Amino acid sequence: MRKEVVLVTGANGEVGHGLITHLARSKRNAVVAMDLQPLDPALTPLCDRFIQGDILDTMLLGRLVSEFEIREIFHLASLLSTRAEFTPEAAHRVNVEGTLNLLRLAVEQSHWQGRAVQFIYPSSIAAYGLPSLAAKQAAGCVREDDWSHPTTMYGCNKLYCEHLGRYYSRHYRQLAVEPDTAHVDFRCLRFPGLISAETLPTGGTSDYGPEMLHAAARGESYACFVREDARLPFMAMPDAVKSLLMLSGAPRERLTRLVYNVTSFSLSAGEIYRLVARAFPTAEVTFQPDAKRQAIVDSWPEDIDDSAARADWGWQPDYDAQRAFDEYLVPAVTRRYASEPAR
Ligand code: SER
């Protein structure tokens, strides 16, 4: 018999760390983790198996079928927005073709199992694109279906993969004589910028939030690459993990959408600085906006409307900004860097 498992791609990433810790604790299913790089040793005891490899390697993905009955896929692997702008075509391959490969895997698994395979996909505020700062400020809190003209490769990839998920879950092979029996239960969250105390994101545009905090905790100065008044929605990592698990656990019949906004609090870069400085009074932060990265932030909404998630599956964040800094971020980053000498 093949083993029932949950597959997590991008296991070493920010979200992967938090999610795998919770999945292992909940013991819902054995965790098979995948990443390009060797698995962080801290995660090794939490995973039943680790597969080091590329989501573009279809042979590798194909071989998973012989070993595992994959009940659920958390597809977290992707190239974030800033990094993707330096290699747009490579980003497209990883973000889109990689997702397509995993959707194919879900179809195949569903055929073998004769039941639905759940596919949880984190999308992003990058899927939005507001044409100007004035439009952003006028739009305020935006709903899922508005302003969907992203300006970054990453945002285009995320938006398109949301559509691919809809296609695979509702319209796959619609012209076949016999309807395809595969059922991919695609569920997607649009995340705001995420802030984790345990890991730093790599290559994102909302990274100035977490970078400012981690630099202060390490006693390093930080040059923030956006203006002090640049405002984005953010969320602390425990809430991001909570939202993934809540969406995954929600009864299918309660879901009125495939793509849900989730958020916790909106802060300007200056407000983040003030929360950081309260905890680390010697923090040295300067604001040295990079016009091009600033333009990306200006195209993302300052707040997102998550009322559909609240109504359909009871979404509610545990951490507002104050609590996120006081009870999670500051104590955890302080512990994290306590053993390292200040630089
Ligand atoms: N945090 C991501 C980025 O900045 C957005 O989802 O790329």
Residue 18 DSSP SS3: helix
pLDDT band at 182 (very low <50, low <70, confident <90, very high): confident
Give how far the C-alpha of residue 18 lies from the chain's centroid of Cα atoms, to the nearest Å.
11
pLDDT digits (tens, 9 = 90+) for 30-41: 999 999 999 999
Residue 191 alpha carbon, nearest atom of ligand 1? 6
pLDDT band at 108 (very low <50, low <70, confident <90, very high): very high
Report CA(155)–ligand 1 centroid distance (Å): 9
The per-residue b/e assignment along 143-160, b for 16 or more CB within 10 angstroms, e otherwise, is: ebeebeebbbbbbbbbbb
CA angle 22, 26, 32 (to 5 degrees): 70
pLDDT at 143 (0 to 100):
98
Mean of all residue pLDDT scores within the chain: 96
pLDDT band at 26 (very low <50, low <70, confident <90, very high): confident
Report CA(30)–ligand 1 centroid distance (Å): 29
Is 154 one of the catalytic residues?
yes
Question: What would the mean pLDDT of 172-184 be, rounded to a whole number?
Answer: 91
pLDDT at 41 (0 to 100):
97
pLDDT band at 226 (very low <50, low <70, confident <90, very high): very high
**Model confidence at 199: pLDDT above 70:** yes
Question: What would the mean pLDDT of 91-98 be, rounded to a whole number?
Answer: 98
81's CB contacts (< 8 A; 6+ apart) are 124, 126, 152, 153, 154, 155, 203, 204, 205, 296
**Model confidence at 219: pLDDT above 60:** yes
Strands 141-142 and 184-191: unpaired
Residue 206 alpha carbon, nearest atom of ligand 1? 4
**Model confidence at 24: pLDDT above 80:** yes
**Model confidence at 241: pLDDT above 70:** yes
Choosing among 3.40.250.10, 3.30.830.10, 3.30.450.20, 3.40.50.720, the CATH entry for 78-337 is 3.40.50.720
Report the residue among 14, 152, 154, 296 best suited for mutation to probe ligand 1: largest number of ligand atoms under 8 A from its CB: 154
81: Cβ below 6 Å to ligand 1? yes
263: Cβ below 6 Å to ligand 1? no
pLDDT band at 201 (very low <50, low <70, confident <90, very high): confident
pLDDT at 66 (0 to 100):
86
300: Cβ below 6 Å to ligand 1? no
Question: What would the mean pLDDT of 270-299 be, rounded to a whole number?
Answer: 98
**Model confidence at 342: pLDDT above 80:** no
260: Cβ below 6 Å to ligand 1? no
Residue 80 alpha carbon, nearest atom of ligand 1? 7
Report CA(74)–ligand 1 centroid distance (Å): 17
pLDDT at 180 (0 to 100):
86
**Model confidence at 48: pLDDT above 80:** yes
**Model confidence at 341: pLDDT above 80:** no
pLDDT at 208 (0 to 100):
97
Report CA(297)–ligand 1 centroid distance (Å): 10
Report CA(259)–ligand 1 centroid distance (Å): 17
Report CA(204)–ligand 1 centroid distance (Å): 5
Report the residue among 205, 234, 294 best suited for mutation to probe ligand 1: largest number of ligand atoms under 8 A from its CB: 205
Question: Where exactly are the structural domains of the chain?
Answer: 78-337
**Model confidence at 75: pLDDT above 80:** yes
pLDDT at 111 (0 to 100):
94
What percentage of the chain exceeds 90 in pLDDT? Answer: 93
pLDDT at 340 (0 to 100):
67
Catalytic residue among 121, 128, 154, 260, which? Answer: 154
Written as six digits, the tokens of 173 are 């092979």
- Identify which has the larger pLDDT, 233 or 339: 233
152: Cβ below 6 Å to ligand 1? no
pLDDT at 194 (0 to 100):
97
68: Cβ below 6 Å to ligand 1? no
How many other C-beta atoms lie within 10 A of the C-beta of residue 46? 18
> For residue 292, which of 226, 219, 193 has the smallest C-alpha distance?
226
How many other C-beta atoms lie within 10 A of the C-beta of residue 339? 6
